[in-house]
Structure 1
Amino acid sequence: MIKTIAINKNHECLTNIDIKELIEGDFLWYWVDFDCPADEEIKLLKNPLHFHPLAIEDCINNIQRPKLDYYDDHFFFVAQSINGESLLREEVNIFLGENFIVSFHQEASIEIEKVWNRIIQASNIENWDSIQVLYHVLDEIVDNYFPIVEKIEDVLNDIDENSTRRPMRLLLQDLYDTRHDLLSIRHVISPMRDLVYRIINSERLKEFRPKMEYFTDIHNHLIKLSEMIEENRELTTDIRDSYLSLNAHQTNRIMQVLTVITTIFMPLTFIAGIYGMNFVNMPELEWKYGYIGTLFVMLLIGIGMFIWFKRKGWFK
């Protein structure tokens, strides 16, 4: 589906105008949005829009990282949003010219939709232009990163507190999944930060220099997000180390108890082994109180060793 917005010289917002009329018409600026376009609609990028073949190829391939490319009469931006449910990356391609902006995305974009509705409902449409649209789209994309990162922080807090007393095996699995999610988000945020930094410092975008303070604000948000990602990754490492240390401590305690029990039973097993040989010349075998006496001696040895181990602090 293709949607269009055009602003005429009377600062009136017109919609659903044919692309050829937009190119040939006398408009202050216009915006064309390729929303999940069909193959026939994709061909319009080449004719009549006449964008560079490499940029069109990047739109179709949909495997690009955030970047900025320069062409003769337009700039080409690749941005990435994040699906809040699946955390999958969704590419948003933008062509920017002196009096036009063209967006291309193969998945529905809530960021594009928000900015689109904002323009249609704007009472100050004279303050809008193509670079302003680019800023708002990137700003919406970056703003939508925050709820995703904050949601992951909540998951980490639940894992850290473990108020439901879930088994350690399940907690570690959730922890590793969360760490993987943080890594996936970082692979989006870091290139986006580089993209916005390049926009701010690009000499070829100098005609838009008065608007760069807006992009500086986006860059600051991306820096904050990067710091949040790194802090949460460090937190996952700390939680993982704590759980592994706790698990090792519990294992050591179990081994300690088993060692004490084994050590106590070693002399008892030795005594039982001696009197289990049944040699003829073993006087204790024919003693009337031999069985009771042997049990009493074994009991004393067991109690004595238990008291000795306790005094040594093996049960603390």
Structure 2
Amino acid sequence: MINIMAYSKEKGMQEGIPMQELRSETWDWYWVDFEEPTKEEIGMLETEFHFHPLAIEDCLQGLQRPKLDYYDDHTFFVIHSVSRMELEKKEIDIFLGDCSIVTFHKEKNDPLEQAKRMVRRVKDYQEIDEYFVFHQILDKVVDNYFPIIYKIEDHINDIEDNTKNLSMERLLEELFDRRGELLTLRQTVHPMRDLLYRILNSHHLDGVFDRREYFADIHDHLVKVADMIASNREMTQDIRDSYLSLNSHETNRTMQILTVISVIFMPLTFIVGVYGMNFSNMPELSTTYGYLVVWIIMISVAVGMYIWFRNKGWFD
């Protein structure tokens, strides 16, 4: 599906105009959006707009790293948005030319829809151009990173407080899931940050220079998101280390108790083993109170060792 927005001083803002009218008339600027394009519509990138074959090839391949390429009559950009639900990267390809901007994406994209609504709300279209649309697209894409990172932060706080009373194994699974989400987001944000840096320092994009403070604001947002990702990854690592330390402490505590019990029973086992030998000449076996005396000795040894271990602080 192809969506067209175009503006001229004579006709004002127009939407849904046919491609033939877009070619036959002069427009101050226009935005053509290829959303989930068919094979025939993809062919229009070459037949109607005459974009460079390498740029068209990048559109048709899988996820490209965010980048920009300069061609004779247009600049080609690859940017990434992230869906809030699936946390899946989605590619948006942008052809920025003189008085024109063409976007290409194989899936429906919420930031682009938000940018369209923003353009429609403009009161004076004479004050905007293709670079205004380009800024709106970048701004909406980057703004959509924030709800994702805030949601991940909330999940990490829940894991830290264990509000759901989950087991240690389940908590670690949740923690590693959040780390995976942060990794996915970092793999998107860092290349986008580098791309905005290149855009800001480009000598080929005069419209960016005219609106430098607006594009610099987007770069600042990306730096902020990158810092939030780094801090949250550090937090997940600290929580993981704390859980592992706690689990190790509990294991050591259990082993300590078992060791104390084993040590207490070692002399008792020795005494029982000695008097369990079936020798004929064992004088203690013929005494009247031998059985009682052995029990008193074993109980005294057990109680004495328990008191000794307790004074050493093994049961604190």
Describe the SS at the equivalent of 1:249: helix
CA distance in structure 1 between the partners assigned to 2:206 and 2:166 by the alignment: 56
Q: Deviations over 1:252-290 (max 9, x none)?
A: 111110110000000001111111112111122222322
Q: Number of aligned residue pairs: give it.
A: 316
Cα separation, partners in 2 of 1:89 and 1:185, compared to 1, 3 Å: same
Displacement of 1:207 after TM fit? Answer: 4.7
Amino acid paired to 1:242: S
Cα separation, partners in 2 of 1:310 and 1:208, compared to 1, 3 Å: closer
Q: Is the 8 A contact 1:20 1:48 kept in 2?
A: no
Aligned to 2:131: 131
Aligned to 2:173: 173
Asked if residue 271 in structure 1 is aligned to residue 232 in structure 2, the reply is: no
Aligned to 1:310: 310
Q: Is the 8 A contact 1:70 1:76 kept in 2?
A: yes
% identical equivalent positions: 51
Amino acid paired to 1:301: V
TM-score, with normalisation over the residues of structure 2?
0.97
Aligned to 1:290: 290
Describe the SS at the equivalent of 1:292: helix
Alignment gaps of 5+ in structure 1: none
Amino acid paired to 1:30: Y
Displacement of 1:177 after TM fit? Answer: 1.1
Asked if residue 246 in structure 1 is aligned to residue 279 in structure 2, the reply is: no
Asked if residue 255 in structure 1 is aligned to residue 242 in structure 2, the reply is: no
Alignment gaps of 5+ in structure 2: none
CA distance in structure 1 between the partners assigned to 2:134 and 2:207 by the alignment: 14
Q: What are the within-5 Å matches in structure 2 for residues 7-156 of structure 1?
A: 7-10=7-10, 12-156=12-156
Displacement of 1:213 after TM fit? Answer: 1.4
Cα separation, partners in 2 of 1:231 and 1:11, compared to 1, 3 Å: farther
Q: Deviations over 1:118-162 (max 9, x none)?
A: 223432222221011010011000000000000000011011111
Indicate the RMSD between aligned Cα atoms, in angstroms.
Answer: 1.2
Displacement of 1:206 after TM fit? Answer: 2.8
Q: Deviations over 1:148-189 (max 9, x none)?
A: 000000011011111332111111111111111111100000
Displacement of 1:11 after TM fit? Answer: 6.3
Question: Could you list the runs of 4 or more consecutive aligned residues of structure 1 that deviate by over 3 angstroms after TM superposition?
Answer: none
Q: Is the 8 A contact 2:208 2:215 kept in 1?
A: no
CA distance in structure 2 between the partners assigned to 1:208 and 1:313 by the alignment: 70
Describe the SS at the equivalent of 1:87: coil
CA distance in structure 1 between the partners assigned to 2:241 and 2:148 by the alignment: 25
Q: Is the 8 A contact 1:11 1:125 kept in 2?
A: no
TM-score, with normalisation over the residues of structure 1?
0.97
Q: Is the 8 A contact 1:75 1:97 kept in 2?
A: yes
CA distance in structure 1 between the partners assigned to 2:308 and 2:141 by the alignment: 68
